[in-house]
């Protein structure tokens, strides 16, 4: 429970299966994006524009690599947060169920 406006107490709950679905989707997205990176051409023949096209592709590739990394990191952090919440929530529930634990 957390204090709400006016001193009232607000209840909230985290839907752990929903969080697990989000983290799974993020992990799958990172894996798919990483696999898509292997389809980049090794070289480009753009005539006079080869250098420019290569620079654009390198920038795009670097941004994609960062996106893959950050998506994987976000999934891992969300997964850990859900696990921590589940542990803390279970411990709090156990304390409330034990004789004298809720007072």
Looking at the chain, which runs of residues are DSSP E strands? Answer: 2-3, 9-10
| Dihedral sign of CA atoms 31, 33, 34, 40 in order | positive
* Chain segment 14-41, per-residue pLDDT in tens: 788 898 999 999 999 999 988 988 888 8
pLDDT at position 88, please? Answer: 81
Output the pTM of the full model.
Answer: 0.66
pLDDT band at 4 (very low <50, low <70, confident <90, very high): low
**What CA–CA distance (Å, rounded) separates 86 from 75?**
16
pLDDT at position 5, please? Answer: 63
């Amino acid at each position: 429970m957390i204090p709400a406006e006016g001193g009232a107490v607000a209840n909230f709950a985290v839907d752990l299966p929903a969080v697990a679905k989000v983290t799974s989707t993020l992990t799958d997205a990172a894996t798919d994006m990483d696999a898509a990176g292997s389809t980049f051409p090794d070289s480009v023949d753009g005539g006079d524009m080869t250098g420019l096209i290569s620079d654009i592709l390198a920038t795009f590739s670097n941004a994609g690599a960062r996106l893959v990394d950050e998506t994987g990191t976000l999934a891992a952090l969300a997964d850990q947060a859900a696990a921590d919440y589940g542990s803390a929530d279970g411990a709090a529930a156990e304390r409330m169920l034990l004789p004298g634990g809720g007072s």
